[in-house]
């Protein structure tokens, strides 16, 4: 690649960056985290699933712990 070709590509890249649609797209991508908070909503089914899984795990671990303690006379 010659220096002239490299210069042309650099110039065309700068022209793309300075173009209006590219600026608009870059601003839209940069603003996505701002709009994420408004698009999020509580997930009651997921929260219920998490709590039920926590209950099952705690119950299972407690029952297993009690069984081992009784078996080993701890």
Same domain, 37 and 48: no
Q: What is the pTM of this model?
A: 0.40
**26 with 50, same domain?**
no
pLDDT score at 22? 72
Residue 3 to residues 7, 9, 13, 43, 65: CA-CA distances in angstroms? 6, 10, 15, 57, 73
Residue 56 contacts residue 64 (beta carbons within 8 Å) = no
How does DSSP classify residue 73? T
Q: Please give the tally of structural domains in the chain.
A: 2
Residues 36 and 53 in one domain: no
Residues 24 and 48 placed together within one structural domain of the fold: no
Domain span at residue 21? 1-41
pLDDT band at 55 (very low <50, low <70, confident <90, very high): very high
- 16 lies in the same domain as 49: no
Do residues 37 and 47 both lie within one domain? no
Percent of the chain, pLDDT > 90?
28
Q: What does the alpha-carbon distance between residue 20 and residue 49 come to, in Å, rounded to a whole number?
A: 47
């Amino acid at each position: 690649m010659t220096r002239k070709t490299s210069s042309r590509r650099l110039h065309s890249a700068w022209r793309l960056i300075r173009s209006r649609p590219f600026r608009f797209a870059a601003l839209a991508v940069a603003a996505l985290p701002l709009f994420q908070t408004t698009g999020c909503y509580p997930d009651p089914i997921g929260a219920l699933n998490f709590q039920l899984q926590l209950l099952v795990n705690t119950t299972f671990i407690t029952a297993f712990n009690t069984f081992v303690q009784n078996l080993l006379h701890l």
